[in-house]
């Protein structure tokens, strides 16, 4: 089959991703701003925002994030500056790579036609499109994971690909925390299946004749294990799980206590202690979370679980889920497709584990679920093309209609009505302050009472604060909370507070930034004209849909009360 369709598709995918990349999604999330500023800091100083030189783990907000996205974003930041396009370009490139990798995987496991169909279906999947337009690590980690799988399959005939598969696996595991559990499980499954098929002697036979290759492969594996072990057990690699894991959910303990109390009045105490045990509660919650990943509600029907990512649609078009179901029926009811069966079953079994340890399903952590569903959908569609030719036109029509509806919503409705979920308020207010002369204000006080989203990072990003200065002692005040999260309370003359201070507690000409209705307007109205301590309204900021964002006011001390007040 000619390959021009896949290259045409890649060009189209790039064009759609690059279109209005700087302003859709509007604003940036705190993770996007952090990934961008870390790249900016590494480019300028060779250190992260906290001054750690070439770290294997970024201290970040106290969540010990992995550094690969920021490292690989350095060329884009160096070329285009610190802006939304530069920060998101790596994710766009990852998206193009994912489309091509899905084509290759489909071609290897099924057929050339199935590979092209898989690439097309992935390209029009809302979940894929939304995630690969924001600066998040998961698309990049998934791309490395697919390269790892493809290299492993290739290694059966070219042993040098063992090294490439190990390197791809390590890159994935140094990109996203979830890969550290998922990738080794997939690797063990694939290796075990190969050993079962041809025997362990044949698996390692090539290394007996090419000892240098065997030593190099072993060295790469050992080096990876050592580095991974260091970052996990020494450099705080499990901090993130401790912060967001289900063991931090107090409702689970409350539920178990209620179960134990209700049980005690009717059943033996030993049995009640078992079913009311906290670890039983965690196990039950994990299983409930795991199963939720395969519900239609999660995969397709719930448009409210991805606010700020997708507009009024689920992760997958319903037709893709139906095709996946038909594809599963086709391959598991016939002989053949052994590699595909092993990979799909293993992937579906292992992919939700990391996310299930934290909740019922989060669009970034569960993103790794996409490949097996797309592969099954491609198989199902391929069979329809072969057996039910006329029905395939209906399927194409349904895919086309859902795709046009999604893109029209994404480029029109989404930037207007989802700006409040993508922290566009910080772009609005910080761009305004940047236009002010520094001589017109003294200190700036930003309230996190209603907008607790790591405000200091937005200040660093939008003002492009010099990392060399920020890394110096005295440039900032910060503290670590009991759960490990870091809160920065001051950067220079900018203060980030749980609530705005009183006007008598701040220097003259101080700026107050906070919620319009709850914080700024009451502060302005409570200090009338006839007082030495005035607060003047500077500006009010609104989301594109007219919703209230931040307000800004300024202290104005008067030596004398105006004559009209006497």
Q: Is the predicted pLDDT of residue 566 greater than 50, yes or no?
A: no
Does 331 or 250 have the greater pLDDT score? 331
Contacts of 262 (CB under 8 A, 6+ apart): none
Confidence at residue 426, expressed as pLDDT on a 0 to 100 scale: 92
Q: Give residue for tokens 């490395």.
A: 144
Closest to 429 measured CA to CA, from 518, 557, 308, 548: 548
Q: Is the predicted pLDDT of residue 265 greater than 80, yes or no?
A: no
Confidence at residue 452, expressed as pLDDT on a 0 to 100 scale: 67
The distance of Cα 298 from the centroid of its chain, to the nearest Å, equals 17
Distance of alpha carbon 33 from alpha carbon 388, whole angstroms: 49
The CA-to-CA distance between both ends of the chain, in Å, stands at 90
Residue 501 structure tokens: 């201070």
Percent of the chain with pLDDT over 70: 91
Percent of the chain with pLDDT over 90: 57
Q: Dihedrals φ, ψ of 534, to 5°?
A: -100, 155
Q: Give residue for tokens 């507070």.
A: 497
Confidence at residue 523, expressed as pLDDT on a 0 to 100 scale: 79
Distance of alpha carbon 529 from alpha carbon 536, whole angstroms: 9
Would you list the DSSP string of 96-119?
A: HHHHHHHHHHHHHHT-HHHHHHHH
Q: Give residue for tokens 């009472």.
A: 449
Q: Give residue for tokens 């044949």.
A: 202
Confidence at residue 86, expressed as pLDDT on a 0 to 100 scale: 96
Specify whether the CB–CB gap between 108 and 18 falls below 8 A.
no
Q: Is the predicted pLDDT of residue 145 greater than 90, yes or no?
A: yes
ω into 473 cis (within 30 of 0):
no
Confidence at residue 232, expressed as pLDDT on a 0 to 100 scale: 61
Confidence at residue 429, expressed as pLDDT on a 0 to 100 scale: 93
Confidence at residue 451, expressed as pLDDT on a 0 to 100 scale: 65
In three-state secondary structure terms, 149 is helix
Mean pLDDT of 35-51: 95
Distance of alpha carbon 566 from alpha carbon 85, whole angstroms: 57
Distance of alpha carbon 172 from alpha carbon 186, whole angstroms: 12
Does 523 or 72 have the greater pLDDT score? 72
Q: Which residues of 189-223 are buried (b: 16+ CB within 10 A; e: fewer)?
A: bbeebbeeeeeeeebeebbeeeeeebebbeebeee
386-400: pLDDT as tens digits = 888 888 899 999 999
Taken as a whole, the chain contains a residue count of 566
Specify whether the CB–CB gap between 62 and 495 falls below 8 A.
no
Q: Is the predicted pLDDT of residue 250 greater than 90, yes or no?
A: no
Highest mean pLDDT, choosing among 92-106, 174-188, 434-448:
92-106
In three-state secondary structure terms, 512 is strand
Confidence at residue 267, expressed as pLDDT on a 0 to 100 scale: 78
Mean pLDDT of 252-280: 80
Confidence at residue 103, expressed as pLDDT on a 0 to 100 scale: 96
Classify burial at 54, counting beta carbons within 10 Å of its beta carbon; exposed 0-12, middle 13-18, buried 19 or more.
exposed
Cα R_g (the chain), whole angstroms: 27
Does 245 or 257 have the greater pLDDT score? 257
Q: Dihedrals φ, ψ of 82, to 5°?
A: -85, 95
Residue 468 structure tokens: 């060399």
What pTM was estimated for this model as a whole? 0.92
Q: Is the predicted pLDDT of residue 94 greater than 80, yes or no?
A: yes
Q: Indicate left, alpha or beta for 474 from its phi (over 0: left) and psi (-120 to 50: alpha).
A: left
Q: Is the predicted pLDDT of residue 235 greater than 90, yes or no?
A: no
Distance of alpha carbon 11 from alpha carbon 34, whole angstroms: 29
Number of neighbours of residue 100 by Cβ within 10 angstroms? 20
Q: Is the predicted pLDDT of residue 560 greater than 90, yes or no?
A: no
Strand partners, 477: 490
149-164: pLDDT as tens digits = 999 999 888 888 888 9
Distance of alpha carbon 432 from alpha carbon 539, whole angstroms: 9
Mean pLDDT of 262-267: 79
In three-state secondary structure terms, 218 is helix
Element (H, E) at 289: helix 278-292
Distance of alpha carbon 391 from alpha carbon 194, whole angstroms: 38
Parallel, antiparallel, or unpaired for β 444-447 and 494-497? Answer: parallel
Q: Dihedrals φ, ψ of 126, to 5°?
A: -55, -40
Sign of CA dihedral 515, 520, 526, 532: positive
Mean pLDDT of 89-95: 97
Within 357-484, residue ranges assigned H as helices are 370-387, 389-408, 414-417, 424-435, 455-462, 467-470
Specify whether the CB–CB gap between 422 and 28 falls below 8 A.
yes
Element (H, E) at 348: helix 338-356
Return mean pLDDT, the chain: 88
Q: How far is CA 508 from each of CA 388, 505, 562, 563, rounded to the nearest angstrom? A: 76, 10, 17, 21
Helix axes 370-387, 137-154, angle to 10 degrees: 60
Specify whether the CB–CB gap between 252 and 278 falls below 8 A.
yes
Confidence at residue 4, expressed as pLDDT on a 0 to 100 scale: 80
Mean pLDDT of 287-305: 91
In this structure, of 169-173, 255-259, 341-345, 409-413, the range with the lowest mean pLDDT score is: 255-259
The CA-based diameter of the chain, rounded to the nearest angstrom, is: 101
């Amino acid at each position: 089959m000619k390959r021009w369709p896949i290259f045409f598709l890649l060009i189209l995918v790039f064009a759609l991703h690059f279109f209005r990349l700087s302003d859709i999604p509007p604003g940036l999330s705190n993770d996007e701003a952090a990934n961008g500023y870390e790249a900016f800091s590494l480019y300028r100083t060779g250190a992260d925002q906290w001054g750690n030189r070439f770290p294997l783990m970024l201290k970040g907000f106290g969540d010990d994030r992995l550094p690969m996205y920021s490292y690989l974003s350095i060329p884009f930041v160096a070329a285009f500056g610190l802006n939304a396009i530069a920060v998101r370009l790596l994710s766009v490139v990852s998206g193009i790579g994912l489309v091509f990798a899905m084509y290759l995987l489909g071609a290897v496991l099924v057929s050339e036609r199935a590979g092209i169909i898989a690439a097309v279906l992935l390209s029009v999947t809302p979940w894929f499109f939304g995630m690969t337009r924001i600066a998040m690590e998961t698309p990049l980690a998934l791309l490395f994971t697919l390269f790892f799988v493809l290299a492993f399959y290739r290694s059966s005939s070219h042993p040098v690909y063992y090294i490439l598969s190990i390197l791809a696996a390590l890159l994935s595991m140094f990109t996203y925390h979830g890969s550290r559990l998922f990738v080794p499980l997939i690797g063990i499954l694939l290796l075990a299946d190969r050993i079962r098929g041809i025997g362990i002697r044949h698996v390692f036979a090539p290394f007996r004749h090419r000892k240098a290759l065997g030593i190099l492969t072993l060295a790469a594996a050992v080096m990876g294990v050592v580095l991974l072990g260091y970052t996990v057990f020494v450099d705080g690699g499990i901090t993130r799980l401790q912060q967001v894991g289900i063991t931090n959910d107090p409702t689970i303990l409350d539920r178990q206590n209620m179960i134990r109390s209700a049980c005690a009045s009717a059943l033996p105490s030993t049995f009640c202690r078992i079913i009311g045990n906290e670890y039983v509660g965690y196990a039950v919650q994990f299983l409930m979370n795991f199963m939720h990943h395969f519900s239609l509600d999660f995969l397709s029907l719930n448009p409210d679980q991805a606010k700020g990512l997708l507009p009024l649609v689920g992760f997958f078009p319903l037709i893709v889920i139906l095709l996946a179901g038909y594809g599963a029926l086709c391959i598991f009811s016939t002989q053949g497709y052994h590699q595909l069966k092993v990979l799909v079953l293993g992937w579906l079994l292992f992919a939700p584990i990391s996310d299930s340890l934290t909740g019922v399903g989060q669009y970034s952590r569960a993103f790794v679920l996409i490949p097996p569903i797309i592969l099954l959908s491609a198989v199902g569609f391929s069979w329809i093309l072969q057996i039910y030719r006329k029905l395939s036109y209906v399927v194409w029509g349904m895919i086309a209609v859902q795709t046009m509806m999604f893109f029209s919503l994404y480029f029109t409705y989404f930037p207007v009505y989802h700006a409040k979920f993508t922290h566009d308020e910080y772009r609005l207010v910080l761009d305004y302050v940047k236009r002010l002369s520094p001589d017109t204000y003294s200190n700036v006080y930003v309230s996190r009472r209603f907008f607790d989203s790591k405000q200091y990072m937005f200040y660093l990003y939008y003002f492009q604060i010099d990392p060399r200065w920020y890394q110096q002692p005295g440039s900032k005040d910060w503290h670590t909370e009991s759960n490990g999260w870091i809160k920065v309370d001051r950067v220079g003359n900018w203060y980030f507070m749980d609530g705005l201070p009183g006007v008598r507690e701040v220097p003259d000409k101080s700026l107050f930034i906070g919620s319009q209705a709850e914080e700024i307007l009451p502060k302005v109205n409570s200090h009338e004209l006839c007082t030495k301590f005035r607060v003047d309204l500077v500006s009010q900021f609104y989301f594109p849909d007219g919703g209230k964002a931040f307000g800004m006011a300024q202290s104005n001390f008067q030596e004398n009360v105006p004559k009209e007040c006497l």
